[in-house]
Structure 1
Amino acid sequence: MSQTYGGDDTPADRTVTARGLVLYTRRRPGNTEPPLLLIHGLGGSMDSWKPLLANLPGRDVIMIDTPGMGRSELPRRPLPIHGVADVLAAALTELGVDRVDVLGYSHGGTVAQEFVHRHPRRVRRLILTATVAGVPWLPPRPRSTLALLSTRRYRDRAAAARDIPLLAGGRTARDAGTLAAVLADREANPPGKKGYRYLQAAVIGWSSHPWLHRLRCRTLVLQGSDDPVVRTFNGRLLAGRIHGARLEVLGGAGHLMLFDEPERLGRLISDFLSAP
């Protein structure tokens, strides 16, 4: 269902056609400028952001299901990372939004880097969370890599209970209640297998190292010290390549820190975006 955005702070969904693809978008109006664009990770959707949204009160937020994820249309063939970034930029144009702050999480962080690189005048500030600059990088440990390649965790509760702690680390791996909440969310919003594979293919050989030093927007890099997928070295490397970037390594936080520690992350994000 498509609808126009309302005048209150109730989130409203809208479909747009961007570069020939039908995308689902959601905007939660707020009293901040510019709006914050959230770019989800591999297997995610705009429904994934609920825990973080509750901890960004009053902020104008735009969420878009990337091509092949959530309810957005699957492209005919895999898009490169820069292609995904261009589709999101086109979607913002259809929504009448010219300039944004951008938060990219995990795989979405690679898209966010390309977005800023290709559309620098459209970005005020950038937040890169649990993500990498591509090759060369320090890969996950072997068990985590095997779990990441599989999609069984989205459809098999036993596989999810086994694999998600290997991928998440942090609070999700330590606390049974947090893990149970993550499992329930994954079961309610499983990704399509083909769309998942398309996004996996997009990052093969991808790298922002050749141009990362040319980014000039104010940047915050958020890295968990207990992230099995994006190990701490990668966050340090990423921040070190961006001129003037600020790095925050959160002790004990894992790969799902935006979702299993949203209060902690919400404060950091709000302070960064609101600072003069």
Structure 2
Amino acid sequence: MQVLRRDDAPALAVTAGRHPRSPATNPPVLLVHGMGGDHTTWRRIAADLESAGRRVIGVDLRGHGRSGRADYRLDDFRDDLAYVLDALEVPHADVVAHSLGAHAALRLAMAHPQRVRRLVLEEPPPMPRDAADLAEAITPGARLGERLRGLGALVADPRPFLRFDKTMPEQVGAQFQQIDTDWWQGLDRVSAPAVVVSGGPRSFLPPRHLRSLAQALPAGSFVTVEAGHSVHRDRPRAFAHVTRGHLFA
């Protein structure tokens, strides 16, 4: 792991592996975790991609893992991902991302469409479109069932949770309580083929909203894997199958 230190923003911890069999035509795969995780939550998926000959880059988002703490505006997460690609001299990448990380990846693809070749978006929380969305409270969070399913991972390795800045959910959640039609219109700028992965009705994110998100993307598709919010954790083989099918298409 290396730490990318910056004068005007928090340091970012990254892992940047290399694979000698990776064809030059295949860009690196950037893995972006969700709220409360870090790069280690992708171990199984990273190993699967590396075995297929892909270079994998993992990042600890600001306020997570070994990265620094700061403000947590949604566009800051986007800019951090762009900085990681710049610092590692990666002109473009495939991005596999979960929850808050998937939202940040979408913002990256909106702002810098040339930097993202393909997207795997696991349970990305959309911005509210109207008062009905606000009333549904489809913000990042976790129901009791989600928390219980996460206990095994927490017991196995509590470090991601212990290193996580507990002030973040309030700051991030407040931003998802604002109607943002511009965000939805900005999806037109995402040129990368994207698959939106829903965890089905057990997730706190209603599948119909994720389907609407996939339909709003110029090259979007929609897949359901019955698992709840953390598909890559609870159904790793199924998630790896979807990921490989999309990135190697």
TMscore range, shorter length: 0.7 to 0.9
Match of 1:264 among 238, 243, 248: 238
Question: Do 1:141 and 1:228's aligned partners in 2 also have CA atoms closer than 8 Å?
Answer: no
CA distance in 2 between partners of 1:206 and 1:47 (Å): 33
* Range with bigger deviation, 45-54 or 228-237: 45-54
Listed one character per residue, the Cα deviations across residues 146-195 of structure 1 (whole Å, up to 9, x for unaligned) are x937xxxxxxxxxxxxx652457xxx3xxxxxx55323146232112124
Q: TM-score, normalised on structure 1?
A: 0.76
Give yes or no for the alignment of 1:193 onto 2:166. Answer: yes
Alpha-carbon distance in 2 for matches of 1:234, 1:35: 29
Tell me the distance in 2 between the aligned counterparts of 1:221 and 1:259.
Answer: 16
Structure 1 residue corresponding to 2:153, chosen from 182, 202, 210:
182
Instruction: Give 1:1-276 correspondences, 5 Å limit.
Output: 13-18=1-6, 19-30=8-19, 31=22, 33-56=26-49, 57=51, 58-75=53-70, 78-136=71-129, 138=133, 148=141, 165-166=145-146, 172=149, 181-185=152-156, 187-190=158-161, 191-205=164-178, 207=180, 208-250=183-225, 252-275=226-249
Q: Is the 8 A contact 2:32 2:102 kept in 1?
A: yes
TM-score where L is the length of structure 2: 0.83
CA contact (8 A) 2:124 2:210 kept: yes
State the alpha-carbon separation in 1 of the partners of residues 197 and 135 from structure 2: 17
Q: Any conservation in 2 of the 1:167–1:228 contact (CA below 8 Å)?
A: no
SS in structure 2 of the partner of residue 108 of structure 1: helix
Distance of 2:213 and 2:135 partners within structure 1: 16
Cα deviation 1:72-101 (Å, max 9, x = unaligned): 1111xx232122211221122111212111
Query: 1:64 Cα deviation (Å)?
Result: 1.0
Change over 3 Å in CA distance of 1:229–1:263 after alignment to 2 = same
- Judge conservation of contact 2:109–2:189 (CA < 8 Å) in 1: no
2-structure distance, mates of 1:52, 1:117: 25
Q: What secondary structure sits across from 2:64 in the alignment?
A: coil
Contact 1:141 1:229 in 2 (8 A): no
Letter in 2 for 1:117: M
- Alpha-carbon RMSD across the aligned residues, in angstroms, is 2.7
What percentage of aligned pairs have identical amino acids? 25
1 CA distance for matches of 2:63 and 2:47? 26
Q: How far apart, CA to CA, are the structure 1 residues paired with 2:179 and 2:134?
A: 14
Q: Matched residue of 1:192: which SS?
A: coil
Q: Which amino acid in the other structure matches residue 240 of structure 2?
A: G
1:140, 1:42 → 2: CA distance? 22
Structure 1 unaligned regions, length at least 5? 1-12, 150-162, 173-178
Contact 2:72 2:171 in 1 (8 A): yes
- Letter aligned with residue 246 of structure 2: F
Q: Secondary structure at the match of 1:102?
A: strand
